């Protein structure tokens, strides 16, 4: 399963030439990850309130291919590649069919009180494992 999240490039996202800052892609990807969980019925706030834990970015790699520009309408496509001790996501930033950037994101679950790594609680783990795509394993 993939999740598509629309994004408009605003002035605040760009430099004086109207080209999106590299860090804007990180904000857009974060919003898309949050909305993909929300659309599964698994918002971050419920994980914190019910289980005392939350997700953090453990690793992030970005490959930029083409620049996004002021007023572009983009889509951030999120695909779950693996859900186990950590969650691996592939996120693509697209302008129509044109790929602008690819992010590989590893998320870890941490305890809110101790910030120590811990197992992802149910129903998050089961829901994410059920939606693994693109050859990712559910180990």
**Catalytically annotated residue among 15, 39, 111, 134:** 15
Paired with 98 in beta bridges are: 95
Cα 21 to Cα 28, 71, 76, distances in angstroms:
11, 14, 16
Task: Clarify whether 15 is annotated catalytic.
Answer: yes
CA 42/CA 120 separation, integer angstroms: 12
Concatenating the DSSP letter of every residue in 83-139 gives: ESSEEEEEEEEEETTEEEEEEEEEEEEEETTT--B-PPPTTHHHHHHTT--TT----
CA 66/CA 101 separation, integer angstroms: 7
CA 84/CA 122 separation, integer angstroms: 12
> Mind telling me the catalytic residues?
15
């Amino acid at each position: 399963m993939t999740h598509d999240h629309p994004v408009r490039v605003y002035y605040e996202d760009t430099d004086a030439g109207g080209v999106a800052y590299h860090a804007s892609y990180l904000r857009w990807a974060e919003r898309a990850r949050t909305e993909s969980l929300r659309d599964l019925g698994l918002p971050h706030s419920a994980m914190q309130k019910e289980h005392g834990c939350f997700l953090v970015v453990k690793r992030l790699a970005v490959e930029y291919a083409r620049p996004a520009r002021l007023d572009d309408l983009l889509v951030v496509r999120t695909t779950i590649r693996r859900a186990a001790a950590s969650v691996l996501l592939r996120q693509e930033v697209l302008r129509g069919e044109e790929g602008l950037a690819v992010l590989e994101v590893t998320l870890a679950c941490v305890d809110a009180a101790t910030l120590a790594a811990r197992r992802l609680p149910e129903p998050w783990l089961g829901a994410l494992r059920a939606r693994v795509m693109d050859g990712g394993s559910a180990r």
